[in-house]
């Protein structure tokens, strides 16, 4: 089975997947951006992910997306594809899973992680304050990430755009859309949201 997992930047998707990998060690976790970066570096000399959005023309960006999808499509077995559905660019939101890409990946389920925008904003600020890499109290790896500090309204709009793009992508390949909405779920301990998300994601493979 192939599952696409998406969330807005800084929501906690990476931590969720680290916990999930311990629950389901036989499920491969593939980062779509890593595959795109390899194509962009080899073909266009791009050195970091931000430059893919900022320096590549839309035509070249689409080329990189399709080539990355072709490579990932060859991976067999149960796979979770870590990616973004709505990519915020200078001219607006761009689909991370356009028809040409999702038709190659053929996911069975598209999963969205959603949180209170205030919580996401706090997580982004925390990401910016991290120096180097560190092991958290639950054994996950945290490292400094470059994050855009938007306001809560912008973050919520981005989450809604994820829903729209998820529906369009799912329609192309007859996939289901699973929304893990933790907006109104309070955390009683650190990383509880990530643990909740990981458990729900793991249940899809049972």
For residues 1-20, give the mean pLDDT. Answer: 95
Count of domains observed in the chain? 1
Q: Which domain holds residue 193?
A: 2-201
CA atoms within 13 A on the CB side of 136: 18
Q: Report yes or no: 31 and 170 within 8 Å, Cβ to Cβ.
A: no
The position carrying tokens 């996401």 is 120
Q: pTM value?
A: 0.88
Q: Is residue 74 part of a domain?
A: yes
Q: Specify the CATH number for the domain of residue 196.
A: 3.40.50.300
Q: Is residue 196 part of a domain?
A: yes
Check residue 143 and give its pLDDT.
Answer: 56
Strands 133-135 and 141-143: antiparallel
Q: Is residue 206 part of a domain?
A: no
Q: What is the overall mean pLDDT for the chain?
A: 91
Check residue 67 and give its pLDDT.
Answer: 98
Check residue 153 and give its pLDDT.
Answer: 95
Residue 142 has pLDDT above 70, yes or no: no
Check residue 48 and give its pLDDT.
Answer: 87
Q: Is residue 191 part of a domain?
A: yes
């Amino acid at each position: 089975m192939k599952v696409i997992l998406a969330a807005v930047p800084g929501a906690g998707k990476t931590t969720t997947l680290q916990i999930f990998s311990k629950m389901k060690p036989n499920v491969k976790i593939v980062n779509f951006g890593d595959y795109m970066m390899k194509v962009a570096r080899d073909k266009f000399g791009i050195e970091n992910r931000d430059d893919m959005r900022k320096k590549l023309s839309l035509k070249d960006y689409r080329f990189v997306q399709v080539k990355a999808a072709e490579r990932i499509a060859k991976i067999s077995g149960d796979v979770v594809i870590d990616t973004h559905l709505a990519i915020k660019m200078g001219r607006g939101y761009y689909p991370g899973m356009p028809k040409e890409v999702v038709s190659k990946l053929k996911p069975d389920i598209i999963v969205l992680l959603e949180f209170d925008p205030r919580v996401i904003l706090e997580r982004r600020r925390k990401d910016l304050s991290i120096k180097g890499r560190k092991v958290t109290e639950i054994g996950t790896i945290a490292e400094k990430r470059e994050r855009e500090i938007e306001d809560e309204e912008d973050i919520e709009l981005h989450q809604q755009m994820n829903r729209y793009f998820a529906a369009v992508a799912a329609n192309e390949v007859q996939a289901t859309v699973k929304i893990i909405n933790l907006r109104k779920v309070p955390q009683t301990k650190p990383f509880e949201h990530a643990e909740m998300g990981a458990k729900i994601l793991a249940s899809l493979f049972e």
